[in-house]
Amino acid sequence: MTKTTHAPTRRRLLQMTAGAALATPFLSIRAAAQTVNLSMLAWYGHAEPDIVGEFEDANNAKFTPKYYTGGDNMLGLIAQSPAGTYDLILSDAEYVQQLNAAGYIEQLDPADYAFDDFYPEFQKFPGHWQDDKLYSVITRFGFLGIAHNTDVLSEKDASSYGVFSDPRVTGKLGHFDWHLPNLGQMSLAVGNPSPYDIDEAAWEKVQEATMALRGQVGGFFDYGGTFSSLNDGQMVAFGGIGDWITGVLEKNGAKVRTTIPEEGGLQWTESFSIGKGSRNHEMARKWIQWITSPDGQAKSADMAAYPALVPSKKGWEVLNSTNPAEAKRQNMVLGQHNAMDMIREGRIKYRQLPVQQSLEDWNDFWSDYKGA
Amino acid sequence: MTRSRPSLFSLVLSLPLLIWQVAFFLFPLIFLVAISFWTVRNFQMTPDLNFGNWDRILTRGTFWDAYARTAMLATASAALTSAIAFPAAYAISFKLSERAKQWLVFVLIIPFFTSYLVRVYSLQVFLSDAGIINAFLDMFGIGPFLMLNTTFGTLVGMVTLCLPLVILLQVFSLNFVNRDFVEAAHNLRCGRLRTVLAVIVPSARVGLVIAALFAFILSFGDFVSPLYLGGGNPPTLSIMITDITKSGQQWPRAAVVALMMIGTLLTVAFGAITYAYKERGK
């Protein structure tokens, strides 16, 4: 080959490369026009394929999750990002009011959502509505009680918070490291009927009863630590958690359960809101409609990351027919004494922010307790 | 004697280091000092000149308890690691052939290939009540001993973190000990142990102190071992920082704790280096 034929080839190669490089943005713009990209701020698991896969395929949508751990972390993330960063926000009930007060979420039209399918208790969930306007749609909830190793403590043993001071639990009492559920449980343990709305005297009593347990404590654990210490039997009783952790372990064969004691248990509640300034309002609404539909609810109940109860009665029906084992495990079997009856008997109280003390007071006490 | 001015070439060569230090150490440090005076409202930080964060952290017993605990843990870790490392470093430097030395130095680098977090998680399997160590002891009818979620567990993790580095630093400093001195000591009928204590350790002092200093620094700021092997029970300063940021996004208060830690480390490092380079007899 001569030099003259070689030179044009190289030039052509350069031209083609440049052409390809220039065309790339157009390709991605065309692709983006077809798929709707939904950003979701949520606890881990909510935008994983087992939950969103079917919806993504059916609606040509793609979820981009940003996972947080804890409501404070969530509020911090929203506060630090421009409006419209998150199309969908999954929040715990006690933080919805704060989201709303800060103007982070949009008002929703109740007619868009299947509230008629829901149990009456969840048709107007406190905090999700403000002056009769809807801001957030409940999607799942669960109970917090005493998580225990069933080899060491029977369900009867775990039927009272008194088990936390049992000699078998010495050095083996674990705490999920968040003051709100733990102190709420201690408030129930000392007999406060509304565990978060307590006066100074009752708050003193809660602190005293909690401090008395300090010698029993084997550790304060994050999400991962909670899993492993329950799984390997290092901790035999755990405060501040529920089936959302023990359920996952139980499904994998670990000997752990959550029992709701006689003094009562707490309820965590998750709901979806649409972020203020979302550019994908339509698709976000579609998602909330899907996840609160009977099929979506049955899927949500058995989420791989952590199982939950669901508010839709129709969702219960689907779960009972498609996945009776999980319905039984979660006490969601229709026509017998089930989780809804526990709520109706008044044994379950909503987890919420302290009413008469500031969040900081509770938090400070928790760090004193840890350091004691 | 006049000192020649540094050449332009050497100045340019040192520029990347300078830029790096300013951009990733000095600037963040100044920023950290600044935000320690900021306030948090509705989960948003607002620039401010508020001494409340300092007041709040420094007047709480919980902070000082955690401070003393962390300092003690780090000191214990530095002492323990140095004590465990020294015989190994001594053997590698003085007793082995060149070839074996190279292999062992290579082996000591291997732990750095896997993440420290992964190694600590796997230590849980050894230390738990039904873990490998207790299962082994059980064969002889002893135990089980509580090791996980204790100070002992934390120390095991810290020593695991520091040991390879400390051995390497000790080996390198022992390699520079003049062999003639050792021979002279022997000729003067100095016993083996006394040779080590009176000749080798003082000659390698700089390296030994710096190795211990590294162990202290790494352990003082360690978050993984106190949390996953100590069960966060009771908390250290690094756990305290995450607690503070988790609840209420109190980054300014966390900055106060971080600055106290940095101050402590600077003081300890300065003290240790001064001691290491102090000329004998002064």
**Same-domain pairing of A75 and A222:** no
Check pLDDT > 90 for residue A12. no
Who among A73, A225, A367 is closest to B227 (CB)?
A225
- The reply to whether B65 touches chain A by the CB within 8 Å rule is yes
Asked if residue A323 is part of any domain, the answer here is yes
Which chain B residues contact residue A233 at CB under 8 A?
128-130
**Same-domain pairing of A185 and A295:** no
Rounded to whole angstroms, the Cα distance separating A18 from A165 reads 73
Q: Is the dihedral of CA A312, A314, A316, A322 positive or negative?
A: negative
Q: Which domain holds residue B249?
A: 57-277
Asked if residue A311 is part of any domain, the answer here is yes
Asked if residue B184 is part of any domain, the answer here is yes
Asked if residue A186 is part of any domain, the answer here is yes
**Same-domain pairing of A172 and A224:** yes
Residues 90-149 of A with CB under 8 A from B: 102
CATH of the domain at A151: 3.40.190.10
Check pLDDT > 80 for residue A27. no
Rounded to whole angstroms, the Cα distance separating A75 from A98 reads 8
Asked if residue B165 is part of any domain, the answer here is yes
Residues 308-367 of A with CB under 8 A from B: 359-360, 363, 367
Q: What is the mean pLDDT of residues A235-256?
A: 95
Return the DSSP state at B82. Answer: H
Interface mutation target, options A180, A232, A238, chain B, most CBs of B under 10 Å: A232
Asked if residue A280 is part of any domain, the answer here is yes
pLDDT band (50, 70, 90) for residue A3:
very low
Asked if residue B33 is part of any domain, the answer here is no
| Domains of chain A: total | 2
- The reply to whether B44 touches chain A by the CB within 8 Å rule is yes
Within A35-145, residue ranges assigned H as helices are: 49-59, 71-79, 93-101
Q: Give phi and psi for A138, each to the nearest 5.
A: -60, 135
Rounded to whole angstroms, the Cα distance separating B164 from B160 reads 8
Q: What is the mean pLDDT of residues A229-253?
A: 94
Which chain B residues contact residue A41 at CB under 8 A?
none
CATH of the domain at B188: 1.10.3720.10
- The reply to whether B228 touches chain A by the CB within 8 Å rule is yes
Asked if residue A29 is part of any domain, the answer here is no
Q: Which residues of chain B have pLDDT under 70?
A: 1-4, 248, 280-282
Q: What is the mean pLDDT of residues A258-280?
A: 96
- Quick check: B248 and A218 CB within 8 A? no
Rounded to whole angstroms, the Cα distance separating A258 from B33 reads 45
- pLDDT, residue A52, reads 96
Asked if residue B41 is part of any domain, the answer here is no
**Same-domain pairing of A45 and A120:** yes
- Contact, A217 vs A176, CB < 8 A? no
DSSP element (H, E) containing A143: strand A137-149
Cα angle: B137, vertex B155, B90; to 5 degrees: 90
pLDDT band (50, 70, 90) for residue A70:
confident
Preceding peptide of B144 cis, ω within 30°: yes
Return the DSSP state at A118. Answer: B
- Contact, A351 vs A181, CB < 8 A? yes
Rounded to whole angstroms, the Cα distance separating B100 from A207 reads 60
Which chain A residues contact residue B70 at CB under 8 A?
none
- pLDDT, residue B244, reads 87
- Quick check: A73 and B246 CB within 8 A? yes
Check pLDDT > 50 for residue A163. yes
Q: Is A343 exposed, middle or buried (0-12, 13-18, 19+ CB in 10 A)?
A: buried
Asked if residue A97 is part of any domain, the answer here is yes
Q: Which domain holds residue A295?
A: 35-135+269-333
* Location of structure tokens 């607690």: B243
Cα angle: B138, vertex B143, B146; to 5 degrees: 125
**Same-domain pairing of A157 and A205:** yes
Rounded to whole angstroms, the Cα distance separating A349 from A267 reads 6
